[in-house]
Structures are given as C-alpha cells and as structure tokens.
Homo-oligomer: A and B are copies of this chain.
Amino acid sequence: MGSKYISISVIKRLPRYYRFLGILKNAGMVRISSRELADRMGLSASQIRQDLNCFGGFGQQGYGYNIESLRNEIGKILGVDAGLKTILIGAGNLGRALAVQMDFEQRGFNLIGIFDKNEALAGQVLRGLPIRPAADIEDFCKENGVEVAILCIPYNESVENIDLYMSCGIKGFWNFSHYNINEKYPRAIVENMHFNDSLMTLCYQVINAE
C-alpha cells in the first residue's frame, strides 16, 4: 500500500493523523468515525476520507476506522521504524533541547552523533552520546553512513559548511538554521523549521482578533 504514489500535501498531513490517532489510542478508544476524527482535527470528514483512501481500506462504511490499525499503517508509510542514521550539529540551547526531549527512535531516526564547533564542550554527554568536535563530522559520516543531519547552528555556520555536509553523503536535513539549503542544492531533502514564521502568524491573528 505504501508503494502507491501519495502527493506531498497528503504526506504532510499524515503526521497529524498519526498524532491525533495516538492521543485517541492512549485515551483507550478503539474505533472512530471519519466525522468524529474530522471534528477533533478541525478538518472536513470528506477530506479525511479522501486522504485515508490514498492508502486503502481502513474504514468500513458505518463502522469507522480502527484507530490502532490505521495509526500503525500510517506509521509504516512514514517510516517510523526506518532508524535513519542521524547526527545533530550544534549543542547549544536548542540542540540540547532536541537531544534531550525528542523521541527520535519512534519517528524513524537513530541519533548516533552530536557535534559542536566549541571544543570546550567535547566529551559532555547528551542522550548518552558524547559531544564531539565539529572537525570530526566528515570522518564520522563516512565511517557510519550518516543519512540525516539536524542543523542547530547559526545561519552563517550552515552557509560555511553545507558543501562539507553534502560531500559527506547527507541526504536529509532537519534545518533550524534558516539557511535556504535548496537554493544551492535543489535536490537535498530539507525540512525547515522557521520559528519566526509561526510567531508572526500568531501576532497577526492576535492583533486582528475581534
């Protein structure tokens, strides 16, 4: 089922389904209708049926969806067991927050290395991993077949180092650095986290409320 082509706009909604289904599962629910799921998620029931029909029969007319099966199937499609070999670059406040708090293993990632250019941090341990000097990134990637890098570094550090990261064979970036990697490397796979975009949208909504 996962092999069928699914558009990126549907894919981007799948983690949200996965999240809501997880909450329902934890609340002890077994089945849910598309209408009720729609109400909880703030989507239309037809949108949900359309999205979930992309990968086949988890709902039966009149019976709704089995929450656990549907969640498991979405998890398989997203690759929650992929264990992608991942490094975190930048062990400042944000890097530490992610290292400590994220459930990488349950989302398809295996965090195997943490790096920082500040050598004074070398040897400190985060999530059971020693912080290594940034100078070791290249060797580490080549030895370990690193596939993904999480960039918790300033903009300029990304600009300076992106050629290196690409030459190390890194395919995917979870990018908190605000540098637009795809401008130089259109084929790199990048998820950008732009905190400011969300913050500015919030500001607009607050000042325009009522």
Contact = CB atoms under 8 A, between A and B. Distances in A.
A79 B134 CA distance: 39
A107 B189 contact: no
B15 A200 contact: yes
A82 B197 contact: no
Interface residues of A, number: 58
A106 B102 CA distance: 29
A196 B15 contact: yes
Given A80-B203, A202-B191, A196 B103 contact: yes
Interface string A178-196: 1010110000010101111
Most buried by B among A93, A103, A174: A93
Given A92-B97, A94-B94, A183-B40, A102 B199 contact: yes
Contacts of A28: none
Contacts of A23: 180
Contact of A204 (B77, B96, B148, B199): B77
A171 interface: yes
A64 interface: no
Contacts of A178: 19
A59 interface: no
A200 B80 contact: yes
A112 interface: no
Contacts of A101: 93-94
Contact of A201 (B92, B191, B194, B199): B191
Contact of A84 (B19, B40, B201, B206): B206
Interface of A: 11-12, 14-16, 18-19, 23, 40, 42, 77-80, 82, 84, 92-94, 96-98, 100-104, 107-109, 147-148, 171-174, 178, 180, 182-183, 189, 191, 193-207, 209
12 contacts: A16-B197, A19-B196, A77-B204, A78-B200, A79-B206, A92-B97, A93-B94, A93-B96, A98-B195, A172-B209, A174-B199, A189-B209
